[in-house]
Structure 1
Amino acid sequence: MKLADLDIIVTAPPPPGWGGRYWILVKVTTDTGITGWGECYAASVGPEAMRAVIEDVFARHMQGESPENIELMFRRAYSSGFTQRPDLTVMGAFSGLEIACWDIMGKARGRPVWAMLGGRMNADVRCYTYLYPLPHHDMSAFWISPEMSAESAAEAVSRGYTAIKFDPAGPYTMHGGHMPAMSDIARSAAFCAAIRDAVGDRADLLFGTHGQFTAAGAIRLGHALEPYSPLWFEEPVPPDDVPAMARVAQAVRIPIATGERLTTKAEFAPLLAQGAAEILQPALGRSGGIWETRKIAALAEAHGAQLAPHLYAGPVEWAANLHLASAIPNLLMAETIESPFHDALIKGAIRVNSGHVHLSDAPGLGIEVDEDLARAHPYHGDGLHLEMRDAPCDYANGNQFEGGAPAPKR
C-alpha cells in the first residue's frame, strides 16, 4: 500500500466563523483506494500559497511511500533543504498529511487511531470551551463585557463543561510584547470576578493571552488574576522567548500554558527544560502530527507536565487531537468547538456529552468528511486564518479584542 493521490480543500466556516476564517483539509488516497483525512493548521501564508507547500511536501517526501513509514517521512520533511530544524510552514503542511496517514492505517486495519498509539488510556476526554456570545448577545459588546461572558460561562457549565476559556486582556499586535494598559488589567480582573461568581467551584477558569506582553507586563497582569485561581495563564509572552516565559512562571502563582504556535519536540523541549510551562497546548495540525506530538507528550510526562491539545481549526484536527488525548496518561483536557458547521462537516461522528468526549471504535479517525459541504463553502477572502493587528496597545482609549470572530463591520 502506497500513498498515491492528494486533494486539498480550503473551506470557510460560515459566519460567525468559529474556528478561523478558513480550514485546510487534505484528502490522501492510496494505490489500494483507501482514503485518509488530515488538516493543516498553518497560517503564516495565504491558503493558495499553503496549497502549493502542501503539494510540494507530499510530492517530495511522501508520494509513493507506505503510510506506515511515519518516522521516515517526518525526517525527510524536517531535514528538507538541509535544515533539520523546525519550520512552521513545512511542518504545518506535513502535520496534516501525517494525520491522514494515521487515518489510512486505521482504516486498513479496522482499528481506531487511539488503539495504535498504545490503547485507550482515557475513556472520556475532558473538554473545555472558549466563551462565545449567546444568541441574544451583541457580538461586538460581548468581548468587553464581564457580565455577558459570565452569562455565557454559566450556560456552558449548565451543559456539563468543567473548564472555560476567555481572553479579555487586550490586543494582539505585530509590535510584540508590551506592558498592559491599566484598563486591560482592570477588565481582566473584572472578567475573572464575574465568571468565578457565576460558576463558583463548578468549573476551572482558563485565562487566555496570546504572547502579547513583556515578562514584566505579564507578571503585573498575573498578580491581578491570582485571587481568582485560574487553572492556567496562557502564553503570556511571545512563545519563542523561553527565558521570559520561565520568569513569568517563577513569579506568578498560576500554571503557565503554551504551545499552539509551536512545532515539533525541538520547540517544546526547552519549555520543559527551563521550567517555563507546566501545561503544553500542541495543535496537531501544526505540531508535527500525531506521532511527533506523542513524543512531545512523553517528554512532558517525564517533566511532570500535562497536555491540553489546542483547537482553533476544523473538526479533522479536533478528531486527531482527541485520539491522542485518549491514549496519553498525562492528559489535562482538550479544547473543543461546538458549532453546526463543525458538526455537519464530519456528519455528527464526534459529539461532546456533558463536557466530555468518548471516542468510538470506528476505524481511523472515526469520521466521515462531507466533501460536498466543504466544497460548497470556498474561501474567497484575502485575510489569513488568524491575524494580529498593526496598531499598538491603546493606553488612552482602551482596547478591544473580538475573539476569533470579529463582528461584521457596518
Structure 2
Amino acid sequence: MKLRDLEVFVVGNPPPGFGGRYFIFVKLVTDTGIVGYGEVYAAAVGPVAMQAVIEDVFARHMLGQSPDRIEQMFRSTYSAGFTQRPDPTVIGAFSGLEMACWDIVGKALNRPIHALLGGQVNDRLRSYTYLYPTEDQDPLTFYNSAEQSAACAARMVDLGFTAVKFDPAGPYTIMGGHQPTMVDVARSVEICAALRDAVGSRADLLFGTHGQFTTGGALRMAQAIAPYQPLWFEEPVPPDNMAALARVANGCALSVATGERLTTKAEFLPALQAGATILQPALGRVGGLWEAKKIAGMAEAFNAQMAPHLYAGPIEWAANIQLGASLPNLLMLEQIGTGNPFHQHLLTTPIHWEDGYVHVPTAPGLGVELNEDVARAHPYTGTRLHLEMQATPHPTAGGLWAGG
C-alpha cells in the first residue's frame, strides 16, 4: 500500500467564525483506494502559499511511501533542506498529512487510531470551551463585560462543562510583551470574580492570554487573579522566550500552560524545563499524532499533563480525541462550545459530546469522515490569515483594548 494522491481543501468558516477564518483539510488516497483525512493548523502564510507548501511536502517526502512509515517521513521532512530544527510552516504541513496517514493505517487495520498509540486508557474525555458570545449577546462588548462573560459561563456549566476559558487581559500584538495597565488588571480581576461567583466550585477557570506580557507584567497579573484559583495561567509571555516563562513559572503560584504555538518535541522540552506543567499542543502544527505522543511521554517524566489545543476545524478535533484516549496524563481537551454547528456539518457523522465529556469513537482511523460536498461548497476566497495579531499595543478609547 503506497500513498498516491493528495487533495487540499481550504474551507471558509462562515460567521461567527469561531475556530478561525478558514480550515485547511487534506485528503490522501492510497494505490489501494483507502482515503485518509487530516487538518493543517499552521497558517503563517496565506492559504494559496500554504497549499503549495503542503503539496511540496507531500511530493518531496511522502508520495509513493507506505503510510505507516510515519517516523521516516517525519525525519525526512524535519531535516529538509539541511534544517533539522522546528519550522512551524513545514512541520504544520506535515502534521495534517501525518494525521491522514494514521487515518489510512487505522482503516486498513480496521482499528481506531488510539488502539495503535498504545491503546485506550480513557473511555470519555473531559473537555472545556472558550467563552464565546451567544446569539443574544453583543460580540462587540462581550469580551470586556464581566456580566456577559458570567452569564455565558453559567450557561456553559449548566450544559455540563466543568471548565471554561477566557482571556480578558488585553491584546496580543506583533510588538511582543508589554506591561498590563491597571485597567487590564482591574478588568481581569472583575471578570474572574464574576465567573467564580457564577460557577462556584462547579467548574475550573482557565485564564487565557496570548503571550502578551513582559515577565514582570505576567507576575503582576498572576498575583492579581490568584485569589480566584484559576486552574491555569496560559502562555503568559511570548512563546519564543523560555527564560521568561521559567521566571513566571517559578515566581507565581499558578500552573503555567503553554504550547499552541510550539512545534515538535524540540520546543516542548524547553517549555517543560522552564516549568510549564500543562502542555497544549495543536496537532495540526506540532508534528502530528506520533510527535504529540512523544511529547506526552516527556510530560509524564516531568509530572506534567496534556490539554490539546483547538482553534481549528473538526478533523483536528477528532485527532485530539484519538490522542487523548491514549494518554494517561490527559487533563482535558479544548473544543468550541458543544460542537460548532459548522464543525459538525463538515463531518458525515457528528462527534458525540455529552455532559462535559467527549465520547471516544470506535470506528476505524480518526473515527470521522469529512463531508467533501460541504467542504467544496464553502471555499475560502479571501487573502487574510487564519488568525492575525493586533499591530500596536495601544488602548482604545476608555482604556479598553481593541483585541486581537
TM class, shorter-chain normalised? over 0.9
1:36–1:339 CA distance, 2 compared to 1 (3 A): same
Amino acid at match of 1:85: R
Q: 2-side partners of 1:172 and 1:398: how far apart?
A: 15
Residue of structure 2 in register with 1:407 after alignment: none
Q: 2-side partners of 1:246 and 1:253: how far apart?
A: 13
CA contact (8 A) 2:170 2:403 kept: no
CA contact (8 A) 2:67 2:102 kept: yes
* 1:90-105 to 2 correspondences below 5 Å: 90-105=90-105
How many residue pairs get aligned? The number is 402
* 1:356-375 to 2 correspondences below 5 Å: 356-375=357-376
Q: 1-side partners of 2:402 and 2:254: how far apart?
A: 23
Q: 1-side partners of 2:399 and 2:103: how far apart?
A: 47
Residue of structure 1 in register with 2:393 after alignment: 392
Residue of structure 1 in register with 2:117 after alignment: 117
Residue 348 (structure 1) shift: 3.7
Q: 2-side partners of 1:196 and 1:352: how far apart?
A: 24
Q: 2-side partners of 1:394 and 1:198: how far apart?
A: 28
Residue 274 (structure 1) shift: 2.8
Q: 2-side partners of 1:262 and 1:360: how far apart?
A: 28
Residue 396 (structure 1) shift: 7.0
Q: 2-side partners of 1:231 and 1:345: how far apart?
A: 32
> Could you report, residue by residue, the CA deviation over 1:270-305 in whole angstroms, capped at 9, with x for unpaired residues?
111232x00000000000000000000000001000
Residue of structure 2 in register with 1:234 after alignment: 234
1:395–1:136 CA distance, 2 compared to 1 (3 A): closer
Residue of structure 2 in register with 1:294 after alignment: 293
Residue 368 (structure 1) shift: 1.4
1:27 partner SS: strand
Amino acid at match of 1:309: P
Structure 2, unaligned runs of 5 or more: none
Structure 1, unaligned runs of 5 or more: 404-410
- Give me the CA root mean square deviation: 1.1
Residue of structure 2 in register with 1:107 after alignment: 107
> Could you report, residue by residue, the CA deviation over 1:204-260 in whole angstroms, capped at 9, with x for unpaired residues?
000000001100000001100000000000000001111100111111111000000
1:396–1:350 CA distance, 2 compared to 1 (3 A): closer
Amino acid at match of 2:308: P
Residue of structure 2 in register with 1:146 after alignment: 146
Amino acid at match of 2:18: W
1:188 partner SS: helix
Residue 394 (structure 1) shift: 2.2
CA contact (8 A) 1:311 1:318 kept: yes
Q: 1-side partners of 2:272 and 2:392: how far apart?
A: 33
Normalising to structure 1: TM-score of the pair? 0.97
1:324 partner SS: helix
Normalising to structure 2: TM-score of the pair? 0.98
Residue of structure 1 in register with 2:320 after alignment: 321
Amino acid at match of 2:391: D
Amino acid at match of 2:101: C
Residue of structure 1 in register with 2:159 after alignment: 159
Residue 361 (structure 1) shift: 1.2
> Could you report, residue by residue, the CA deviation over 1:126-166 in whole angstroms, capped at 9, with x for unpaired residues?
00000011111111111110110000000000111000000
CA contact (8 A) 1:143 1:401 kept: no
Amino acid at match of 1:299: M
Residue of structure 2 in register with 1:274 after alignment: 274
Residue of structure 2 in register with 1:305 after alignment: 304
Q: Which moved more, 1:233-242 or 1:387-396?
A: 387-396
Query: Given the alignment of the two structures, is residue 70 of structure 1 paired with residue 70 of structure 2, yes or no?
Result: yes
Residue 351 (structure 1) shift: 2.1
Q: Which moved more, 1:228-237 or 1:358-367?
A: 358-367
Amino acid at match of 1:183: V
Q: 1-side partners of 2:208 and 2:402: how far apart?
A: 12
Q: 2-side partners of 1:75 and 1:40: how far apart?
A: 18
> Could you report, residue by residue, the CA deviation over 1:163-207 in whole angstroms, capped at 9, with x for unpaired residues?
000001001111100001110111001110000000000000000
Q: 1-side partners of 2:116 and 2:37: how far apart?
A: 17
Residue of structure 1 in register with 2:196 after alignment: 196
CA contact (8 A) 1:181 1:393 kept: no
* 1:190-269 to 2 correspondences below 5 Å: 190-269=190-269
CA contact (8 A) 1:181 1:394 kept: no
Q: 2-side partners of 1:327 and 1:4: how far apart?
A: 29
Identity %: 63
